[in-house]
Structure 1
């Protein structure tokens, strides 16, 4: 199951896909509270960062200040690939869009401002077409 590492192939084949829902970043001390199904967890010294659906965070009374859309790059990227994150971040930064990137084993996942999800998709699709 070796992922792609050629940057040109990664960019031209990234096929960005918008996942349904609104996602938020929050943090908890210790373990994931019951009833939450995070799509991302990161253990940090200060606590556990969770990316969860906004409605789950609201039900659990968790604080957040960034509501994101989740975009998956459907290309199977190698974890040691060089340049994909930089190219994507540069493209979105040029459009004034923030981007939080999480690498999974098979794909890269982008969290962009929810209200700019379709704009981000347009820019990513354009980047893929130019590559």
Structure 2
């Protein structure tokens, strides 16, 4: 079945970002294998082992070692995986505001992980970026 059309135009992607902050705190943990019952948001197989992004509570319950604690923001725009410029524009806007982010592209949406406690500020920055792209900035 053919995939639905996803947006490739940078201006339209930025104008339609619709950043949504998910509740909870997520952590980047490491594991030899995925613990039974864990429902990760993201997994990445690396040479050194498995990176698992899950809630802090899940990581602690599974006894996983973790580092970075994050807020999770989903960009509701349906961006194409081969679209050019979205990650760069979003990262640059957040960096200018002094916010680091880790970007993960899913089939339907892009997901941003920013430092825990910085989610609301990051959403504000992204809403400002989106409004400027839409031509509705104050």
SS for the counterpart of 1:57 is helix
How far apart are 1:35 and its partner, in Å? 2.1
How far apart are 1:25 and its partner, in Å? 0.2
Q: Which structure has the larger Rg over C-alpha atoms?
A: 2
Q: What TM-score, normalized to structure 1?
A: 0.97
**Aligned counterpart in structure 2 of residue 129 of structure 1, from 110, 128, 131:** 131
Q: In 2, distance between residues paired with 1:114 and 1:22?
A: 6
Q: In 2, distance between residues paired with 1:65 and 1:26?
A: 6
Question: Are residue 12 (structure 1) and residue 15 (structure 2) matched?
Answer: yes
CA RMSD in angstroms comes to 0.7
SS for the counterpart of 1:130 is helix
Q: In 2, distance between residues paired with 1:28 and 1:85?
A: 27
Gap runs ≥5 in structure 2: 134-138
Q: For residue 2 of structure 1, what is the aligned residue in structure 2?
A: 5
Q: For residue 68 of structure 1, what is the aligned residue in structure 2?
A: 70
Q: For residue 95 of structure 1, what is the aligned residue in structure 2?
A: 97
Q: How many residues align?
A: 130
Deviations 1:13-40 (A, max 9, x none): 01000111110001111x2111211010
Structure 1 segments, 4+ long, off by >3 Å, are: none
